[in-house]
Amino acid sequence: MATYIDTPSRTFNEYLLIPGYSTSECTPDKVDLTSPLVRYKRGETPTLRLNVPLVSAIMQAVSGDRLAIALAKEGGLSFIFSSQAIEAQAAMVRKVKMHKAGFVTSDSNIKADQTLAEVVALKEETGHSTVAVTDDGSAHGTLLGIVTSRDYRVHRMRSDTPVSSFMTPFSELVWADESITLTEANDLIWDHKLNTLPIIDKEGKLVSLVFRKDYDSHKEHPLELHDEDKRLLVGAGINTHDYRERVPALVESGADVLCIDSSEGFTQWQSDTIAFIRERYGDRVKVGAGNIVDRAGFRFLADAGADFVKVGIGGGSICITRETKGIGRGQASALIEVAAARDEYCEETGIYVPICSDGGIVHDHHMTLALAMGADFIMLGRYFARFDESPTNRIFLNSTYMKEYWGEGSNRARNWQRYLATKEKKLVFEEGVDSYVPYAGPLRDNVGVTLAKIRSTMCNCGSLTLSQLRKNATLTVVSSTSIVEGGVHDVLPKDTHTFSTP
């Protein structure tokens, strides 16, 4: 006979937090939102942490390299989508690791016998005004000089003017060898009032560039998430089919953490994938797994060696797994049970395995609820899809700007490796839809508002850290009537009604 769970499957919208006692020290500016990203032994420090508990979903419509850069600057992490060619995904990872590395590999390079017209074309292609002049036009050729926008005037010079005639030659450059530290490089930049400092090896070949603007950018983003070499952190999705080829390519490209992308993770395929990674790389390569919705699923993946476990099936705004297949669980109910299982596992083994709440977030306050219920961090798709940095098109629809957004289980995604498909690589049925979401502007502005709300609510609950929030929080189930009461009611909002004057 089937097993029945008689308690309702609940969502975040059915809960509210009860305010707790707050001391005068409990102010938003003192709230610490750091959270472990991967498993660690109790009493030790995790090897990877998030500065804010937000990660972007493994989706074509969400996690490209541009959004990964923007989110890492704010303290979160993106998982570059895996429903693309292996080399294309690895290239996206490399772009993120190169973007803000302190020591940046030059992506705008030219030879001395090329022309001003080619410099201008290169600037339009890359968007960068600093061009390295090398003997072979490559990023690691012998450095001959540097060209910046101050070295030429398009309207006063012939387009066929050779680069060698207007570049700043190597003999006039301030440079450093590759043994220099980033701190020393920044000191040189400030001492010599430079915008760019070339780093060369013993043979005079260009190794990298250090930019003044990167130093300024870091100061503007104090929560920036980076590794010990000052490179931004980035994750990457994998599947349970081509992992033997995809994982090595992603590791080589510099991915800091991997995550198996699947709508249902309580499977042998996931344990086999984790086993391959452990056999080949040991604990050096970190990999998350999921998704699951109960204690048994968590224990299975934790025992298999997952570094974190994703919780949630069918709760995403574009996911139709529940109505298509009849599987899933309300996100709040799933998270509460799995959080308890995580704590039990830690007590038994001394190993803390973080959990990620994936799906079910509609409003910003749902994020705080998820964190109070036990999530170590939250994976978001629709939320990030609305921003400038997501890889989809912005369109004007019904008098407002929208962004395209589709699920990995939709036909548009063509993500056959995530779902069972026919030999002809045709999706038998869809588990996601193709849609639009309201355009919301830059990521930084929106994430700043969201985090301000989370910090404020945590103070209302007398908590300055996420662990304190989980310990101190008191939650109450709300009725449908109280949900209505919690919104605007019994008034006519001014911004939605127009009145005429007699």
Rounded to an integer, what distance in angstroms lies between the CA atom of residue 332 and that of residue 348?
Answer: 25
Rounded to an integer, what distance in angstroms lies between the CA atom of residue 293 and that of residue 311?
Answer: 6
Segments of 187-247 assigned E as strands = 196-200, 206-211, 235-238
Active-site residue 39, yes or no?
no
Task: Read off φ and ψ for residue 99, nearest 5 degrees.
Answer: -60, -50
Rounded to an integer, what distance in angstroms lies between the CA atom of residue 277 and that of residue 161?
Answer: 53
Active-site residue 356, yes or no?
no
Which one of the listed residues 418, 455, 459, 461 is annotated catalytic?
418
Segments of 293-410 assigned E as strands = 308-311, 351-352, 355-358, 377-380, 394-397, 400-406
What residues are paired with 308 via a beta bridge? 288
> How long a stretch of residues is the chain?
502
Sign of CA dihedral 463, 42, 377, 225: positive
Sign of CA dihedral 162, 165, 168, 172: positive
Which one of the listed residues 49, 94, 246, 319 is annotated catalytic?
319
What residues are paired with 80 via a beta bridge? 236
- Contact (CB, 8 A) for 349 and 314: no
- Residues annotated as part of the active site: 319, 418
